[in-house]
Amino acid sequence: MTSTISMGQYLFKRVAELGIEHIFGVPGDFNLTLLDELFKVHELDWLGVCNELNGAYAADGYARIKGVPGVLVTTYAVGELSAMNGVAGAYAEHAGMIHVVGMPGRAVQEARLMLHHTMEPGMDQTVYVGMAEPIRKTHTILTDEKTMAQEIDRVIEAGVKSKLPVYIYVPMDVVGIPLDASRLEKPLNTKVVNSNSQMEDEVVQSTLELIRKSSKPSILADVLTIRHGGRELARRLANATQFPTYSTPLSKGVFDETDSKYNGVYNGEVSFPGCADSLESSDLVLNVGFLLSDSNTGGFTRKIPNGNLVLLGHDYCQIHDKKFDGIHFLPVLKRIVEEIEKDLKQYGLPKSDTRAKVETPVLSTSTSGPITQSYIWQRIGRFLLPNDIILTESGTAQFGLTDAVFPASTQLITQTFWSSIGYTVGACLGALVASKEAQKQKQKRSSSSTSTSDSPSSRVILIVGDGSLQMTVQEIGSYIRFNFTPIIFVINNDGYAIERAIHGPGMGYNDISMLWDHQAMLGFLGAREGTGIKGRSFACRDVEELERVLGEEEFAGAGCIQMCEIFIAKLDYPWRLSAQIAVSRQKMAQAMALQA
């Protein structure tokens, strides 16, 4: 007799197969029986969040560190709609997500009852399914018992391969339907393969030939290199070729920034002196995993001629002016790296490139006085340790920390493209969970190995502005609830500084409540003597106070949750933000002049 498994358990067993260990979400009456099935799958743990938007942010942050989709479970209408901004951000920046939505039962949907969470009599109860269409790769509504297992597999596989959100809608009455358990014996197909092998061959061979002929080549690895699982391949390519390497604002940390061949963050005209000139003088630029948004290209000021450019992307590759639609860079990059590693001399490696290394300028040598934007970001950079995970909020932080030099093996989470303020507070929870899972796996490997070496744990560091914090602050309570110990830097600059920089520096619409007591925040959210959970808070109004905190061994050790509030003048902005705005204004003025 064929063994069976409930639909709910089948779904979550497939999720666990990907290496996922935690599920984020909020309970609601249309997903409660589904959550019952989740609790029967011992490979997974439920992690309830404060609201669905933060849950989507957390699933996004989890995916960025874990390398597999984060999973979010919400309820019909009010839950799934609350999460949509977070899902859209994951779509824009290719942070994979599986969004599971509990729905009314099939018979109730067919009857079109005026159920709670519907909006009017006789409403089509699948209307919310259509609302999510632009922010997902694919979806399924599990209504047909004969195809449920196949549909679950299809959607999950598509989500893993595309690194885009997918939706699985689960009517209440299908949760316990028995499915064929033997299907679980066949692994999911999650390998990225280009269907047109002839076109892939041409991209590989043409790129290798350009590498062989080049005299001043460079590698520019962008954020989708990381999102689509190509970071280690990019590092292998850099190591084998010894080409100068560059990142973008979104991909900072993709290369070891302490390496002699690393030349900085390329952002068009919004780059440190020498960086753009160095890259743009290349006769070959291998641009891997590109994401050509305004804030990731210095306001569209890249000056790399097509005749010197090879674009290796997630949905097309382009060599000079020839475009290869539907070719994913991952198999291409793998083949290029393996071919080069076989025989360096065949490709003229190493090259006799005489370009000097681009050194990062020191923006401030302050040892006392007010804390400024020019001082704080490179100072935090010097506070970082190898293996740290840093989250920089949409605002001054994401522009400022670009100036820092990261230690080896540092991972950055920022959202410079989608730029939803408050994102990092939720995403930090996901990063904390993923980091904890990674450490647990390291300990398992260490215990089963004769080696005594043990890599250090990752500190998780959140940098958030006072305005952004007010959007999503409640999720810090989840850090405390689940015994996580991040270091939190709150940049207190009296409101929405990034908006002031863009427009209306003195206008009230850029103000926030300044009545909050950040020093009481950790205690209110749970880290206080009465709960037995330790928390430490600091307020730094000048360089001397901040140096004392950053130099303290206990603070650096991250043994408990800690918050450091840093006061910066309201109208002080990072130079990159001001430069980006100036470039954008200039382009707008030029466009308007042409229309006149």
* pLDDT at residue 592 in the model: 82
The number of angstroms, rounded, from the C-alpha of 247 to the middle of its chain's C-alpha atoms is: 15
- Structure tokens that stand for 193 in this block: 């393969």
* Average pLDDT over the chain, rounded to an integer: 96
- pLDDT tens column, 69-87: 999 999 999 999 999 999 9
Q: Say what percent of the chain tops pLDDT 70.
A: 98
What are the residue ranges spanned by the domains of the chain?
Answer: 4-185, 197-347, 373-441+455-580
Rounded mean pLDDT, 247-262: 97
CA–CA separation, 87 vs 101, rounded Å? 13
CA–CA separation, 583 vs 590, rounded Å? 11
- Structure tokens that stand for 395 in this block: 């605002």
CA–CA separation, 511 vs 491, rounded Å? 15
The number of angstroms, rounded, from the C-alpha of 376 to the middle of its chain's C-alpha atoms is: 23
| Distant-in-sequence contacts of 324-329, Cβ < 8 A, 24+ apart | 324/199, 324/202, 324/203, 326/194, 326/195, 326/196, 326/199, 327/194, 327/196, 327/199, 327/200, 327/203, 328/192, 328/194, 328/228, 329/225, 329/228, 329/230, 329/288, 329/289
- pLDDT tens column, 25-77: 999 999 999 999 999 999 999 999 999 999 999 999 999 999 999 999 999 99
* pLDDT at residue 82 in the model: 98
Give phi and psi for 491, each to the nearest 5: -85, 105
CATH superfamily of 197-347: TPP-binding domain (3.40.50.1220)
pLDDT classification of 450: cutoffs 50, 70, 90: low
- pLDDT tens column, 299-345: 999 999 999 999 999 999 999 999 999 999 999 999 999 999 999 99
354 or 405, greater pLDDT: 405
pTM of the predicted protein model: 0.96
User: In this structure, are residues 371 and 566 in contact, taking their beta carbons and an 8 Å threshold?
Assistant: yes
Handedness of CA 215, 220, 224, 230 (dihedral sign): positive
Burial of 509 (0-12, 13-18, 19+ CB in 10 A): exposed
Rounded mean pLDDT, 353-382: 95
pLDDT classification of 443: cutoffs 50, 70, 90: confident
Rounded mean pLDDT, 122-132: 95
Query: Which residues make Cβ contacts (< 8 Å) with residue 312, sequence separation at least 6?
Result: 203, 207, 286, 287, 288, 289, 290, 329, 332, 333
- Report DSSP state, residue 356: P
Query: Which residues make Cβ contacts (< 8 Å) with residue 199, sequence separation at least 6?
Result: 324, 326, 327
- Structure tokens that stand for 416 in this block: 């410079």
Burial pattern 543-582, b for ≥16 Cβ within 10 A else e, equals bebbeebbeeeebeebebbbbbbbbbeeebbbbbbebbbe
| Length of the chain (residues) | 596
pLDDT classification of 225: cutoffs 50, 70, 90: very high
The DSSP bridge pattern shows strands 322-325 and 487-492 to be unpaired
263 is in an annotated binding site: no
60 is in an annotated binding site: no
Question: Could you give the 3-state DSSP secondary structure of residue 171?
Answer: strand
454 is in an annotated binding site: no
Same fold: 197-347 with 373-441+455-580: yes
**CATH number for the segment(s) 4-185:** 3.40.50.970
Burial of 65 (0-12, 13-18, 19+ CB in 10 A): buried
Element (H, E) at 548: helix 543-550
Residue 451 confidence (pLDDT) above 60: no
**Rounded to a whole number, what is the largest CA-CA distance in the chain?**
78
* pLDDT at residue 449 in the model: 67
Residue 14 confidence (pLDDT) above 60: yes
Residue 392 forms beta bridges with which residues? Answer: 463
| Residue type for position 10 | Y
* pLDDT at residue 351 in the model: 93
CA–CA separation, 322 vs 347, rounded Å? 22
pLDDT classification of 446: cutoffs 50, 70, 90: confident
- pLDDT tens column, 524-575: 999 999 999 999 999 999 999 999 999 999 999 999 999 999 999 999 999 9
Question: Could you give the 3-state DSSP secondary structure of residue 567?
Answer: strand
Q: Say what percent of the chain tops pLDDT 90.
A: 93
Query: Which residues make Cβ contacts (< 8 Å) with residue 433, sequence separation at least 6?
Result: 22, 47, 58, 62, 482
Residue 596 confidence (pLDDT) above 80: no
- pLDDT tens column, 378-428: 999 999 999 999 999 998 999 999 999 999 999 999 999 999 999 999 999
Burial pattern 89-110, b for ≥16 Cβ within 10 A else e, equals bbbbbbbbbbbbbbbbebebbe
* pLDDT at residue 456 in the model: 64
User: In this structure, are residues 167 and 99 in contact, taking their beta carbons and an 8 Å threshold?
Assistant: yes
- Structure tokens that stand for 592 in this block: 């308007």
- pLDDT tens column, 171-216: 999 999 999 999 999 999 999 999 999 999 999 999 999 999 999 9
Rg (CA), the chain: 25
pLDDT classification of 2: cutoffs 50, 70, 90: confident
Query: Which residues make Cβ contacts (< 8 Å) with residue 147, sequence separation at least 6?
Result: none
**CATH number for the segment(s) 373-441+455-580:** 3.40.50.970
